[in-house]
Amino acid sequence: MQVAIVSDTICPWCYIGKRRFERARAGRPVDLAVEWRPFQLNPDMPADGVDRQRYMVAKFGSEERVAEIFSAIEQAGESEGIQFVFDRIARTPNTVDSHRLIEYAGQQGVQDQVVEALFRRYFEQGEDIGDRAVLAAAGVDGGLDQESVGSFLAGTDGAEHVRRESEAASRMGISGVPCFIFEGKYAVSGAQPPDVFERVFELAAAAGTDDSADSPRPAA
């Protein structure tokens, strides 16, 4: 079964969604081929990123509101074994390079491992995943060769592909992430509980492949 996960590397709910999807997958004997696809929540983000606290206050209106949002995410993360350290994240980065790295990791067969490393370094260690040295380290964490991944990140290969993919996802109607697309037909939006994914596994498996489908339709 083909599953495309549309995600952004700075989205905490994408990390939580990954954990919940993994729990559902572990509980079902389903053979899955998973591909991570890029989405930019902030396509106009400066190349060097911005101060995270100022960005969050501008987005949500006040420091008090930001604290409330972080608290809710932290509680959800704890239930999935994730220890968010929002107070240690200094900058909100541009995510093009992190998505380039994920695409490269997919070509090397270690995409999921590199996605995991990026989430962990950003959300649990507070590192700047807009920094290419941090990105290279995440790539090595995920199983990539240090010299090769450093050379790749030094260039711009894949940057335009990331932008096109993100724009294509928006045209499909995806406005928030994570979004899990099963067999190109059924879409699960958000970090849903494992039982939701389990039901969609069954739905997609029972329906089989329908090449006539033009775009994914909501399953949850």
Question: What's the CA gap between 179 and 188, in Å, rounded?
Answer: 6
Give the pLDDT score at 205.
Answer: 82
Question: What's the CA gap between 38 and 60, in Å, rounded?
Answer: 24
∠ CA 148-152-155 to the nearest 5 degrees? 150
Question: What's the CA gap between 189 and 165, in Å, rounded?
Answer: 18
Q: What is this structure's pTM?
A: 0.92
Residue 208 pLDDT > 70, yes or no?
no
Percent over 70 (pLDDT), the chain: 94
Residue 77 pLDDT > 90, yes or no?
yes
Residue 217 pLDDT > 80, yes or no?
no
97-123 average pLDDT score: 98
Q: Is the peptide bond before 93 cis (omega within 30 degrees of 0)?
A: no
Please classify residue 99 by burial: count the beta carbons closer than 10 Å to its beta carbon, then call 0-12 exposed, 13-18 middle and 19+ buried: buried
Question: What's the CA gap between 188 and 22, in Å, rounded?
Answer: 14
Average pLDDT, the chain: 93
